[in-house]
Amino acid sequence: MMITRKAMGRRTLLRGMGTAMALPLLEAMIPGAKAAEEAAAARKRLQVIYVPNGMMMENWTPATAGEGYALSPTLKPLEPYREKFAVFSGLSHIQSEALGDGAGDHGRCCGGYLTATHVKKTEGADITAGVSMDQMVAKRFGELTQIPSLEVGLEPPSLVGSCDSGYSCAYTNTLSWSTATTPLPVTINPREVFERLFGDGDSLDAKSRLAQLRRQASILDFVAQDAKRLSRNIGASDKHKLDEYLQSVRDIEKRIQKVEQGGTSAVALPAYARPSGIPDSFEDHSHMMIDLQVLAMQADITRVSSFMIGREVSGRSYPEIGVPDAHHPLSHHGRDPEKIAKLTKINVLHMEQVAYYLKRMSETKEGEASLLDHTLVLAGASLSDPNDHDHRGLPTIVAGGLIKGNRHVIADKDTPMANLMLSLMDRLGVHEDSIGDSTGRLSGFAA
């Protein structure tokens, strides 16, 4: 089926949002203009973009290494930004392999993507992974912004059954873990993201936003006390749940303080209509979520964001690009050329979303530079060839002004992905001794 893509779709979408609530009124939430420019220069950000079900590696991996390498078919959509990104080959998540746990590669590879740990095989009773890289960064940067991190995605979690054999859906619903036992599920509804960023008040002016937040603060006082009262009467394991609750309360209280301390000058944000819900079309949804993440970065509401274009074992089909087949079964292509061609189409569509993100970030000015210049982007999948659930040689790109682009780096065989993660965090000024199964910094990263 041929479906012509129409520019109209986007316009219709915006119309459909109803109340066009322009957004340029974020005074209290952003530092003063002059201070803002100075602060912006020092600002660094982390963005993770994740695609599910691995990658057709023969169409992904560039044939040559080093600078000025030839782009592969799947990377083609990123061509305009080739100076801004580098391809890393050969990195592996060996901890995502079975290691005696049997089936469930999708559950493990998603839980392990940013934690580099061998997640515990369980349907629910004792979910355990590790602190994820984005959350290590968020713990540092979170002190500086209203929200420590955003976790957004495009696909609803599996509604029924298990997500991957023996693994709770908690492992496939997010990349982000604030502790080894606290997953941070993604939000897929653009309106929820919008309200998280800008509130749900009648108007988005600073005063009413502040009034709304102050009222929330008094409610939070109350619920914190209620939680403490409750926790006196319950056992240790139950206390853990209430601690989680209290931690979340504190996070929001901190945010309210931040807003109250904020300056008074406005940074002009583009008019952006309040989304009404989840758009039907994949691409409209994806673009909207990317726009919101760019807005969040621009307004400095957060500096850490992770974006899941799909969930592992995603069964999404993409009839709009001629792929009516479900993604996951296709990914077990069995070397069937037709399946490989379709799978590649999906891979390319997903890379187009990464390209759209880079486009938006590079177009958005921050001082003399662009947002992208102050951002580190990690994009990729947590499987290489999905047919074999291969956890080695993962498709990985790193983009943004904080690294040297236009090169294809080939790591030594079986180099832990975690080594790249340590090097990336170094660039952000977050120095960790180790993460997951890391064995050191990635050699060749600095170039």
Maximum Cα–Cα distance across the chain: 65
Which of these, 279, 267, 325, 295, lies nearest to 53 by C-alpha position?
325
Cα separation values, 87 from 61, 78, 166, 250, 265, Å: 8, 11, 33, 39, 40
CB of 102 to other proteins, least distance (A): 5
Considering beta carbons, is residue 68 or 161 the nearer one to other proteins?
Answer: 161
Which of these, 140, 149, 139, 133, lies nearest to 304 by C-alpha position?
149
Out of 44, 93, 121, 392, which residue is the one contacting other proteins (CB under 8 A)?
Answer: 121
Contacts to other proteins from residues 273-302, by CB under 8 A = 276
Residues 342-371 as x/- pattern, contact with other proteins by CB under 8 A: ------------------------------
Which of these, 79, 29, 43, lies nearest to 397 by C-alpha position?
79
Q: Which stretch binds other proteins (CB under 8 A): 162-170, 299-307, 395-403, 436-444?
A: 162-170
Cα separation values, 431 from 42, 68, 140, 436, Å: 17, 30, 10, 14
CB of 332 to other proteins, least distance (A): 4
Contacts to other proteins from residues 200-259, by CB under 8 A = 200, 202-203, 212, 215-216, 218-220, 222-223, 225-227, 229-230, 233-238, 241-242, 244-245, 247-249, 251-252
CB of 91 to other proteins, least distance (A): 19
Q: 130 with 288: CB under 8 angstroms?
A: no
Out of 31, 183, 262, 275, which residue is the one contacting other proteins (CB under 8 A)?
Answer: 183
Considering beta carbons, is residue 56 or 399 the nearer one to other proteins?
Answer: 56
Q: How many residues bind other proteins (CB under 8 A)?
A: 104
CB of 260 to other proteins, least distance (A): 16
d(CA 107, CA 311) in angstroms, rounded, equals 10
Contacts to other proteins from residues 71-100, by CB under 8 A = 97-98
Q: 315 with 326: CB under 8 angstroms?
A: yes
Does residue 184 belong to the site contacting other proteins (CB under 8 A)? Answer: yes
Out of 48, 188, 343, 355, which residue is the one contacting other proteins (CB under 8 A)?
Answer: 188
Does residue 317 belong to the site contacting other proteins (CB under 8 A)? Answer: yes
The DSSP annotation for 64-123 comes to S-EETPPPPTTTGGGGGGGGGEEEEEEEE-GGGS-TT--S-HHHHHHHHHTT-S-----S
CB of 387 to other proteins, least distance (A): 6
